[in-house]
Chains A and B, each alone.
Chain A
Amino acid sequence: MVPTTYYVLLSAALFVLGVLGVLLRRNAIVLFMSVELMLNAANLALVAFARERASTDGQVLVFFVITVAAAEVAVGLALLVAIFRSKRTTDVDEVHALNG
């Protein structure tokens, strides 16, 4: 059996890559994909822990995460489309009306 720690390390690496994507990319869609990557990394860790504890609950939690992620992606992409309609861009840096 593969030790849980390997999975956790992989999960951490994927999560950090997702963070980098969020911080460095400006294309809103890619940024959004990076968020999905982070969600998946977390899911992976959850499933690995569920395996270690031989419990079903962790997997059910991941199932809920995936469901909510689907809803989130739908709403998020709808927002992107709405923003694109008013700003004609998907560059997140172009949307900074909140600056102090």
Chain B
Amino acid sequence: MLESVSFIIPLLPLLPFLGFVANLLFIRNERSAGLIATATVGVSFILSLVAFILFAMGGGSRPYLDLVTWYWINTGALIVPFGFLYDSLSSTMTLLVTGVGTLIHIYSIGYMHGDKRPVRYFAYLNLFVAMMLTLVLADNLLLLFLGWEGVGLCSFLLIGHWFERKSARAAAVKAFVVNRIGDAGLLLAMMAIFALTGSLTFYSQTHPSGEGVLPGFLDSTSSFSAIFNFPGQPMVLATAVTFLILIGVTGKSAQFPLLVWLPDAMEGPTPVSALIHAATMVTAGVYLLLRVEPLLEMSSGTRAWILWIGALTAIIGATAALAQWDIKRVLAYSTVSQLGFMVVAVGLGAYTAALFHLLTHGVFKALLFLGSGSVIHAAGDEQDMRRMGGLRKALPTTFWTYMVGALALAGIFPLAGFWSKDEIIAHAFEHNIIVFGVLFVASILTALYMGRQIALVFFGEQRDHSYHPHESPKLMTVPLIILAVGTIIAGVINLPGSHFLNTWLQPVIAEEAAPFGTSEIVLAIVTTLIGAAAFYLSWRFYNERAARLRANSNDPIYRGTGAIWEGFNEGWYLDGFYKAAIVQPFRSVANFIAQVFDPRGIDGLVDGIVRSLNGASNGIGRIQNGFLRTYALVFLIGVVLIVGYFVAVNR
């Protein structure tokens, strides 16, 4: 049924893009900018809903819909269609992106009211949605890469939205540079895939000449099964390719060791953090892993890497979130940790669980970020939790929705986070007990830091009276309520036993539904009980001690843990490590080049050339002395030489 109205699929990214163009070129006031931006994304959401329903109704006949609008590159050897792939995976992602995107756009109208550059903000936000949809709907790697870079660009621009602040500029540049490292890996992976299969499209489609097929690289996985001799250890080509993709994923999805940019990205406006750095862009890496699942299935080596990188990221993020004072940095490290969970799920082969967690996390983390934005808004742009406290009275809506989000994140029954996180933990329990242990600890830590945050922000008495908290306008609270409702019910899409998402994804990811037995139920009960207990204990602990907190005081547990707490606060010193290992040597080299090599070497070379030319021209100029007889002499020299040449040659 979708085939007959397939034109709506290209409209999905096109509408936000048109909104971007309009905001870029024509709109000059805040009100219409917000309206245009929200309207385009909203219509896009309605259309994706329509497409989703039509696709679901017509399901079965065709597993996916590949719609080529035109050929982007058509050079014989390299054929890249500007095509959209609509299947169960991308349709789900589309719903998340446009749905959460619409709510965040509405929220932004309220949040960005009175900002200096609202039009620019909405233009970039629209461009981001367009690029994210391009990424999700791309039917080939190059188009996906266009979206990948596009969202990276928007992330850069929006983190640096308040570019008057030095920290915002630095964070924007940091995000961009760190992402470049990952992008290099993805580029190399693309080249390798093209070299191996001669194609960048995911699935086979009609050849542009009308005859034969343009093979898709996911359909010709046998090309990747060759063994090549890596020094010391032979490996399957698929391992090399997927490892390069993994490098790209660690950049975009903020995995160890490239996770350092995400906490700093909180310098951007809060809705941006919610949309880009929690719900959508950072999940692009997980989406890409799901997309190339047939390749991952061929390489147990890469999956092991994915597994351990994800586990390490999950524990780093969770511990670091425990030791932050900035309300948004807590959530940022929490996002890092949850992304680690998703990546672990991919590494375990639990692709559905990864997507499930991606979706629920997208909803409740957006909720949490928007809630924190509401708090920051109410607290007069204050982000330090030590200066908050007692806000539940002034911000009832925000408090209750935030509470829902926090409990969901902590994995409390029956909220969305419980179902998705528990599925991952169950898989880990089944396959790898060490990873299970790491995830278990990480999820307890999750409950701890969320309890701490709730206690510090909403309970107790207001510790800083320099601002008068007030509930945010309807434009901001309504999206919060909608997201909170979503958080409560989102678990139904893949309840154990129903496996709706699992079935839905069957055409793309052929994965057995997770078994659902007594051990799983026991495990779920244990984790949720421990999580709830941790949440409560943490809340109580901080609630009792919060009243003594002052702007510069240490955490109550600082006395006992000291250096460890600081290490957590610094995000395991990854930034310091990069500074010492990369930034400082680079600076030294740059300094050497700028202060020694450039003036002495380059300038010396240039000056030397100038000097020698000057000398030469002075010497030559002296010959040109104006004396007729000297000219005659030079003439004679020439005559002598020429005659001499002929005398010597014609013997």
Contacts and interface: CB of A to CB of B under 8 A. Distances in A.
Contact of B629 (A93, A97, A99): A93
A96 B631 CA distance: 11
The 7 closest A-B pairs by CB, nearest first: A99-B626, A96-B626, A100-B624, A100-B621, A98-B626, A92-B628, A99-B625
B489 interface: no
Name the residue among B625, B629, B633 with the largest chain A CB count within 10 angstroms: B629
B627 interface: yes
A67 B627 CA distance: 29
A41 to B, nearest CB: 14
B636 interface: yes
A26 interface: yes
Interface string B607-633: 000000000000011111111110011
B627 A96 contact: yes
A93 B624 contact: no
Interface in B579-621: 620-621
Given A23-B629, A97-B626, A100-B624, 7 more contacts: A22-B632, A31-B629, A92-B627, A93-B629, A95-B628, A96-B626, A99-B627
A45 B623 CA distance: 33
A69 interface: no
19 contacts: A22-B632, A23-B629, A23-B632, A23-B633, A24-B629, A31-B629, A92-B627, A93-B627, A93-B628, A95-B628, A96-B626, A96-B627, A96-B628, A98-B626, A99-B626, A100-B622, A100-B623, A100-B624, A100-B625
Nearest to B620: A100
Contacts of B621: 100
Interface string A2-20: 0000000000000000010
A42 B81 CA distance: 80
Nearest to A96: B626
Nearest to A28: B628
Name the residue among B620, B621, B632 with the largest chain A CB count within 10 angstroms: B632
Contacts of B626: 96-100
A97 B622 CA distance: 14
Nearest to B631: A98
Contacts of B623: 100
Interface in B433-484: none
B360 to A, nearest CB: 85
B629 A22 contact: yes
B310 to A, nearest CB: 77
A39 to B, nearest CB: 15
Classify chain A: how many residues form its interface, as a range. Answer: 10 to 19
A70 B623 CA distance: 33
A19 B638 CA distance: 13
A92 B629 contact: yes
B636 A23 contact: yes
Interface of A: 19, 22-24, 26, 31, 92-93, 95-100
Contacts of B624: 98-100
Contacts of B625: 96, 99-100
A26 B629 CA distance: 8
Contacts of B628: 92-93, 95-96
A96 B628 CA distance: 7
B145 to A, nearest CB: 61
Contacts of A22: 629, 632
Contacts of A19: 636
Contacts of B633: 23
Contacts of A100: 620-626
B623 to A, nearest CB: 8
B622 to A, nearest CB: 8
A40 to B, nearest CB: 18
A29 to B, nearest CB: 14
Contacts of A93: 627-629
Contacts of B632: 22-23
Nearest to B624: A100
A19 B636 CA distance: 8
B649 to A, nearest CB: 19
Contacts of A95: 628
Name the residue among A22, A92, A96, A100 with the largest chain B CB count within 10 angstroms: A100
A5 to B, nearest CB: 15
Interface string B477-498: 0000000000000000000000
A98 B628 CA distance: 9
Contacts of A31: 629
A24 B636 CA distance: 13
B27 to A, nearest CB: 65
A10 to B, nearest CB: 18
Nearest to B628: A92
Interface string B630-648: 0011001000000000000
Interface string B75-86: 000000000000
A22 B620 CA distance: 23
A87 to B, nearest CB: 13
A35 to B, nearest CB: 10
Contacts of B636: 19, 23
Contacts of A24: 629
A45 to B, nearest CB: 14
A100 B620 CA distance: 9
Interface in B411-453: none
A8 to B, nearest CB: 13
A16 to B, nearest CB: 10
A54 B626 CA distance: 46
Nearest to B632: A22
B231 to A, nearest CB: 65
A25 to B, nearest CB: 9
A3 B227 CA distance: 91
A26 B336 CA distance: 94
Nearest to B618: A100
Contacts of A23: 629, 632-633, 636
A95 B621 CA distance: 17
A77 B137 CA distance: 92
A23 B622 CA distance: 18
B449 to A, nearest CB: 82
A76 B624 CA distance: 23
A92 B624 CA distance: 15
A72 B623 CA distance: 28
Contacts of B622: 100
A96 B622 CA distance: 13
Nearest to A20: B636
A97 B626 CA distance: 6
A93 to B, nearest CB: 6
A99 B626 CA distance: 4
Contacts of B627: 92-93, 96, 99
B177 to A, nearest CB: 55
